[in-house]
């Protein structure tokens, strides 16, 4: 199975590129950000709890997102592979994902890490904020916090995957089509 982790800071283009990849490789897209926003829109207890973290640009607690991914994986049968978008975001989430996939004997094949300059990230998120209505894209302090949280808690994940030979850095600057081509080049070699 082609199991990929799409990795990168907020605004790196994970959700955008996942859209191309699921179509091209017939994969199932699991975005914890999207799953959390569905819970918020549905007004569930989990959604209410998650919103209090997301609106501040903080990570939602590990047990909440791990539980969500676990139940999603249990419902999917006969997948060609998964794109994990925005998950894992901590080392504990990465370990939990390995355990979950181990049960199915289908490990993560690659962590595709989109690399984008900080000012470009801010510009992308601010422009999305003008149309998305996402609270976490509108306040510059929250955007700054999301990038700081990424640097502190999520970036160290590269050192989790690198020794396993699974980390692939990809230039995430430029047009959406060019970045999609760079991702394709790496995936075809996996
Ligand atoms: P996410 O929904 O994952 O949000 P994101 O990091 O902003 O990435 P996204 O995929 O949406 O945006 P993209 O870069 O594609 O997370 C939101 C929050 O949920 C987190 O802050 C956290 O609170 C919580 N959360 C989610 N997962 C969690 C987890 N595992 N653990 C704990 N908490 C979790 O795109 C951004 C913008 O850039 C778009 O407008 C796009 O059109 C544009 N863009 C993309 N590529 C471009 C390009 N090449 N050029 C110009 N613009 C581009």
- CA–centroid distance, residue 112 to ligand 1 (Å): 15
Share of the chain above pLDDT 90, in %: 93
CA–CA distance, 12 with 124 (Å, rounded to integer): 8
Catalytic residue from among 37, 70, 134, 162 = 134
* φ, ψ at 25 (rounded to 5°): -110, 5
Q: pTM for the full model?
A: 0.95
* Other beta carbons less than 10 A from residue 99's beta carbon: 11
Digit-coded pLDDT (tens) for 97-120: 999 998 667 899 999 999 999 999
Digit-coded pLDDT (tens) for 115-150: 999 999 999 999 999 998 898 999 999 999 999 999
């Amino acid at each position: 199975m082609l199991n990929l982790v799409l990795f990168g800071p907020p605004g790196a283009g994970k959700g955008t590129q996942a859209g191309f990849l699921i179509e091209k490789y017939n994969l199932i897209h699991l975005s914890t950000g999207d799953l959390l926003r569905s819970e918020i829109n549905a007004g569930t207890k989990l959604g209410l709890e998650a919103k209090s973290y997301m609106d501040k640009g903080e990570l939602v607690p590990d047990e909440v997102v791990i539980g969500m991914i676990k139940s999603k994986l249990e419902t999917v049968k006969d997948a060609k592979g998964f794109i994990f978008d925005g998950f894992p975001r901590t080392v504990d989430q990465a370990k939990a994902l390995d355990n979950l996939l181990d049960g199915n004997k289908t490990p993560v094949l690659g962590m595709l890490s989109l690399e984008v300059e900080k000012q470009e990230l801010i510009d992308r998120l601010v422009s999305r904020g003008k149309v998305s209505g996402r609270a976490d894209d509108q306040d510059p302090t929250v955007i700054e916090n999301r990038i700081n949280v990424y640097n502190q808690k999520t970036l160290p994940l590269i050192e989790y995957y690198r020794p396993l030979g699974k980390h692939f850095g990809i230039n995430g600057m430029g047009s959406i089509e060019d970045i999609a081509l760079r991702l394709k080049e790496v995936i075809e070699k996996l």
